[in-house]
Amino acid sequence: MAAQRQSAGSGVDEYRSEHFVIAFPGYNRPWATWIARRLEAYRHTTTLYRWNPPREEPLETAFADLLLSGSRVILVLSDWFFQLGPRREGEWNDVLRGYLREHADRFAAVNLTNRTLLPATTVLQPVDLWAVGAEEAEWRLLTRLGLSTSAPERTLGGVESRYPNDPPVVWGEVPLRNPRFTGRDDLLMELQQRLTDVDQGVSACALVGMPGIGKTQLAAEYAHRFTPDYDVVWWVPSDQRGTLRERYGELAPELGLRTGSETGERIRVVREALRRGEPYGRWLLVFDGWDDLDGADVLLPPGQTGHVLVTSRNRDWGRVVDVVDVPGFRRYESISYLMRRAPHITAAEAERVSVEHRDVPLPLAQAAALLGESHMPVTEYMRLVRDSVNPISGRAEFEGYSDASLTSWSIMINRLRATQPQSVELLTLATCFAPGRIPIGLVHGIPAGELPENLAWIGRDPAGWTRALDALVNYSVITRDTRTAADASSSGEPSPRHETIHMHRLVHDVAGRLTTAEDRETYRRVVRRVLAEADPGQPLEAANWPRYAELLPHLEPSGALISTNARVQATVLNCLRYCLRAGEYVLGRQLAERVRQEWSEFLAPDSRAMLELTTQQGNILRNSGHFRTAYELDRSMLERLRAGAEPDQHALLTASNSYAQDLHYLGQYRESLQLQREVLENALLLRGPEDYTTLTNRHNVALALRMLGRYAEAYEMDVETLRMRESLLRSRHAATLYSGTACARDLRLMGRYRDALARQELGMRLHVQVLGAQHPQTLWARYNLVLCERRAGSPHQEVGRVMASLLEQFEQTYGGAHHQTAVFQTDYANYLREHGDLGQARDHLDQASAVFRSVLGPAHPITTGMLSNAGLVLQAAGERAEAMAVFESAYAGLAVTLGQDHPWVLGCALNAARGRNFNDRLEDAAELSRDTLRRARHALGEDHPLTLSAQTALAADLRSLRERTEADKQEEDVLQRLTRALGAQHPHTLSAQRRVRPYWDFEAAMG
C-alpha cells in the first residue's frame, strides 16, 4: 500500500515548493498546526489564518481576502467553520455555489466532522480526516493537494506537532470540551504566547477574574486546543486544599514514578520529575480554582519546558506568576453565543439580552439555555426578567451581577419545577453538598425505601435520574464531571452510583437561595447519610485517601459537624484521621477547630467523641508545630478526666500519652519521661506487653530517655522494642523499621559510630525495599544514615552532596518554615561551616533558628542550644569576643533547664571553654575544661567521643598555661583512647594528633 501510494505521486515534481494559507476556526487549531507541520516537512511553506469573519462582512469578501496572497488556500471544515457568526444556511450555499465554485482551483478543504456538510461544499472536494490514523491522514492531505507523497529529507525543526487524534501520553481528566465554547481566540493566543515566550524556567500564568467570567472554561479550552504541544496534561481541582494536594499527588503513578502513599511525598516526587523533565519534558498543569495562595511556593512545579495554568479569583497571584485578566465577552461573542444556542432569536434580540447580562458568560449561558430549551420569545424573556420579583437581589455575594441575571435563574428554576420537578429535587439535593465537584451518585448507596418520599424515585427510576441530570445539564446548571467517584475503579463498569457532577460556586449559591424549602433539613440529612455510607472506615489506609478527600469538603455544608448521629460523627473523626495520616495538617487544623466549636454546644467535654477529637486535634497540632496549643488542649482534657468520680482508665491512658508528648515537645523532658513511664505501666496492665500501642509507649519512653542524654538506657529499651516488634510484626513492618533507626541513632549518640553505621545501612536498604525511596520515613532513615556516615568519617564531599539533596527533599515534603526542615537544616549548616562555607552556614542557621523561636519559644532548650552553633560561625569568621558571649549564653541557659551533666550542656561547655581560650581567658578555660571532663566521664563514660573531646580541650588549655607535663600526659592518654574507640585514621583522632582544638555541633533533635 505504501509503495503504491509513493508511486502514485511520482509524476509530480517532488522538489517543487509551494506556499499554502490554512484557514481554520480557532476551535480546530490543533488540526491546522498539524497540517502546517506536515506540509513544512515536505519543504512547503504555510501561513496559519484564524477564520472568524465579522458577521456583518459578506462571506464573499472574506473568501476573496484569503486569495490576496496568491497562494492556494486550505479550508479546515468542521461544524465550527460554518457556525461562526452565526450565518444562515442560504448565505453559505450562495457563496459556495458562486465565488468558491469560480475559484475552485485556488481552494482545497479537509473535513473534520462526521456530520453531513452542506451539499454545496462538494465544490471544495473536501477530504475526510476525522476517522483515520496519522499516516493515512497525511497521504489523503498530500493527494488532495496534488503533492508528492515521496518525502525528501525532512527539514522540520523544533518539536513536531502530535497528530490531533492521538491523545497525550498522560491526560489528567480535563473537563470535557465545551462544544458551545465561543470566541476568546485572542485571549487564548495571548495566553499561549505568554506561556511559551520565556527564555528559561517554567512559565506560569494565572487567569484571574470575577466568578462566572469563564476562567475554567478558558483553561479547559486551552488544554484541548493546544494539547498536541504537550505529552502530559493534568487537571487539578484546587478550590479545596485537600483535593488539590490529593489530585496533584495522583500524577506520580501516571508518570510511572515509584513512591509511597503519603500525599506530600508524592507531590515532592512529582515536582522533582517535572523539574528534570523526566520522563516527559512537555507538560501542562492546570490548577483550577486556586484562591488560597498559602503554600503555593512549595506546590508550583519548577521546570524548563513545562507550563502551569492557574484559575483564581485572587489577584494576589500577581506576586507569584504572570496574571491574565479575564474580561467578559466582547459584544459580538455574546451575540454569537446566544444565536447559536437559541437559533430562533435575531442578532438584535441577542444584543438586547447581552446588554441585560453585561456580557458576563455564566448568566449568558443560563439565559441562552433557557431561551434555547424553551423557545421562549425574547420579548417575553425580557418582560419576565424585568418585571419578576427577585428574592436574592442586592446580596453581597452576587456583586457584579445584574438583577436581570439573578432573576433569570429564578425563571429557569420555576420552569423546571413545572416541567421537570425531579430535576429540581436533584438540584436541591446538590446544593446541600459543597460547590465544585459533587459525588451526587453516592445517593444510590441508600436503599430507595430509606430515602424520603420525595427522593425515593432516585432508587426506583433510573430513567428519571438520567432525565433529571440531562435537564440540569441542558439548562447550564451543572456539568457532568469527567472523573468518576473515588471507588469506581474497583467496581467494574461505571454506574449511577459513581456519577459525579460539577456545579459552579455562584450557581450553587444562587440555586441554594432559590430552592430553599421548609424541608431543606431533610435533604441535608440525606447527604449526611450519603457521606456516612461512603466512609470506608479505614482512614489509615492510603488506598482510601482519595475517598476521604472527596468527602471532606461536604461535611460542613451537609450539617455533618452539628449532627448528633454517632455514625456521622465517626465519619467526621475519620476525616480528621485521614488529614493526620496523609499530612494534610492545615486542612486538619481548620476542620478540627470547626468541629470543636460545634460539638462543644451539645457534647459533654469528657465524652468519648470529644476525647477522640482532642486526641486527633492534638496529633495534628503537634505535627504542624503548634505545640503550645496542643499542650493546653491535652492538659485540659486530662485534668477533666482525672477529676471524674470514676475515670475511664483507657481514656486516661490515651489522654496521658498525648500530654506526655506535649511535654516532650515543650522541652520538659524530665516531666515527659515520668509521665511516659506511668503510661507504659498502665498500658502493660490494661493492654498487655504485646499490644501494638503498648510497644509504641515503650518506644516513647526510650525517646524520653534519649532526650535526657541517657543514651545507653534508651538503647537498651529500643533494642527490646525492636526485638518484640520483629517477633510480633515481623522485620519488614514500618514500625519495626522505625525501631531499627532508633537503635542506630542511640548507637551514634553513644559514640559507637561504626556499629551505628552498619545498623543504619541495613535499615536504609530495608526502608527502600519496603516503603520506597521517597517515603517520609525513608527520608528520616537517610537523614540518620548521613549523620552516621559523617560521624564515622566518610569522605566529606559525598556527605555534602547527599545533605544538600536531603535538604531540598525536606523543604518539598514539609515546607521551608517547618520545624522538621529546620532540624535537618541545622545539621547541614554545621557541615557547611566545618568545610568553610560560612555565608551559607550562617543563612541556614538564621532560618532554622527563626523557625525554632517561632514554634518553640526563646527559652526552649533547642532554641538555646542553637546559640552554640551560631557561636561557632562567629568564631570561624574571626569574631571571637562575640562568639564567646554567645557560647556562654548557650551554656548558662541549658545548664539551668537541663542540668550540668546533660550531654547538650557538656557540649556547650566544651565550646564555651574554647571561646575563653581564644579570648585569652586561659585559666577560666582550663577550669571549665577540667570540670567538663569530670562530668562527661561520669555521664557518658571515659571513652565517649564527647568525653575525649573534653580531654583534648583540657590538654590544649594546659599547654596554653605552659603546664606541659600534665598536657602531654592528657594528650598521650586521649590519643590512645581515640585510636581504640574510633581508629587511627578517624578525623577526630587525626585532629587531636595535629593539636586542633575540638568543638561540638549542637544537633537540634526533637524526637
**Among 583-587, 607-611, 757-761, 896-900, whose mean pLDDT is lowest?**
583-587
What pLDDT sits at residue 4? 43
Residue 631 lies in a domain: no
Q: What is the pLDDT of residue 491?
A: 45
Give the count of domains, the chain: 5
Based on the domain organization, do 109 and 135 belong to the same domain? Answer: yes
> Residues, the chain, total?
1007
Whether 267 is covered by a domain: the verdict is yes
Note the pLDDT of residue 536. Answer: 95
398 in a structural domain? yes
Per-residue model confidence (pLDDT) at position 6: 46
Residues 893 and 878 reside in one and the same domain: yes
Same domain, 108 and 185: no
Q: Are 180 and 490 in contact (CB under 8 A)?
A: no
Which structural domain range is residue 308 located in? 170-325
User: In terms of domains, do 110 and 212 share one?
Assistant: no
Integer Cα distance of 641 and 623 in angstroms:
24
| Domain presence at residue 389 | yes
Whether residue 244 is contained in a domain is answered as yes
Identify which of 947, 981, 945, 951 has the alpha carbon closest to the alpha carbon of residue 967.
Answer: 951
Contact 388, 407 (CB under 8 A): yes
Beta-bridged to residue 48, according to DSSP, are 22
Instruction: Check whether residue 892 and residue 969 sit in a common domain.
Output: yes
Helix pair angle (361-374, 378-387), 10° resolution: 130
CA distance linking residue 697 with residue 689, whole number of Å: 10
Cα distance between residue 236 and residue 250, in whole Å: 10
Cell 527563626 locates to 850
Question: Given this model, what pLDDT does residue 162 score?
Answer: 84
452 against 717, higher pLDDT: 717
CATH code of residue 100: 3.40.50.2300
Please give the model's pTM, rounded to 2 decimal places: 0.82
**CA distance from start to end of the chain:** 71
State pLDDT tens for residues 563-574. Answer: 999 999 999 999
* % of the chain residues with pLDDT over 70: 94
Cell 439555555, residue? 369
pLDDT in tens, 214-256: 999 999 999 999 988 899 999 999 988 888 888 999 999 999 9
Query: Residues 735-794: pLDDT tens digits?
Result: 999 999 999 999 999 999 999 999 999 999 999 998 888 788 899 999 999 999 999 988
Residue 1007 and residue 869 share a domain: yes
- Report, as an integer, the average pLDDT of 664-686: 97
In 3D space, the residue among 456, 432, 436 whose CA is nearest the CA of residue 446 turns out to be 456
The angle at the Cα of 756, spanning 997 to 663, to the nearest 5 degrees, equals: 85
Residue 579: closest CA among 263, 244, 253: 263
Residue 683 lies inside a defined structural domain of this protein: no
Same domain, 407 and 284: no
Question: Is residue 54 located within the same domain as residue 140?
Answer: yes
DSSP annotation of 451 reads: S
Domain boundary among 289, 307, 325: 325
* Mean pLDDT score, 139-153: 82
Quick: pLDDT tens for 531-569: 999 999 999 888 898 899 999 999 999 999 999 999 999
CATH number at residue 296: 3.40.50.300
Residue 487 pLDDT level (bands cut at 50, 70, 90): low
The number of angstroms, rounded, from the C-alpha of 662 to the middle of its chain's C-alpha atoms is: 29
Place of cell 514514578: 257
- Percent helix, strand, coil in the chain, to 5, is 65, 5, 30
Give me the CATH number covering residue 895.
1.25.40.10
Domain final residue, candidates 419, 438, 457: 419
Question: Which of 310, 325, 340 corresponds to the end of one domain?
Answer: 325
Same domain, 246 and 291: yes
Is residue 305 pLDDT above 80, yes or no?
A: no
In this structure, is residue 961 part of a structural domain?
yes
Same domain, 953 and 916: yes
Task: Give the Cα separation of 668 and 675 in Å (integer).
Answer: 11
pLDDT at 799 over 80: yes
Could you tell me if 281 and 186 lie in one domain?
yes
Which pLDDT belongs to residue 390? 61
Query: Are residues 357 and 287 part of one domain?
Result: no
- Cell 485537600, located at residue: 242
Answer whether residue 178 is part of any domain: yes
Query: 521517597: which residue's cell?
Result: 774
- CA-based torsion, 592, 595, 600, 603: positive or negative: negative
Helical packing angle, 241-249 and 566-582, nearest 10°: 50
* pLDDT bracket for residue 10 (50, 70, 90): very low
